[in-house]
Amino acid sequence: MNELAANRQEAEKKAALRGLVIYFAVLSAGSAYLESKILRTGRSIGSVPGLVFTLMYMPGVASLIARIVRKEGFADISLRAGGREGGRAIRIAWVYPMVIGFVAYGLAWRTSLAEFQPPLPERFGCHGADTDVPDSG
């Protein structure tokens, strides 16, 4: 009986690995395609929000495609947001990206890898223009 359980566990590992291979193949190919389209426009990402939006959702799309290809279904995914665990998960989902962003940007600014410059309002006539102020002397 122990050998049967070991064989089953090995089969589950191989199946999970195949699912991950499909996921990462779709994610890599889809992201590379979208990023190349964004770069080929030659414009800022603000002018191609549809491509950026699609790129943001590429991990979710890759996951759905992998599940469909593997015929896994969705019954084993718990999407319940209620209860103590659900509330904790929602708080983590909101706070975690902000913490990572603050740490990453804070380190970049602190080590001078990046320069902090708030966006300039259009009403000042500086939006998208050279912001150097000429010497008055």
27-63 residue pLDDT tens: 999 999 999 999 999 888 888 999 999 999 999 999 9
How many percent of the chain have pLDDT more than 70? 83
pTM greater than the 0.85 cutoff = no
Exposure string over 39-59, b if 16+ CB within 10 A, otherwise e: eeeeeeeeebeebeebbeebe
Q: Which residues contact 131 (CB under 8 A, 6 or more apart)?
A: 120
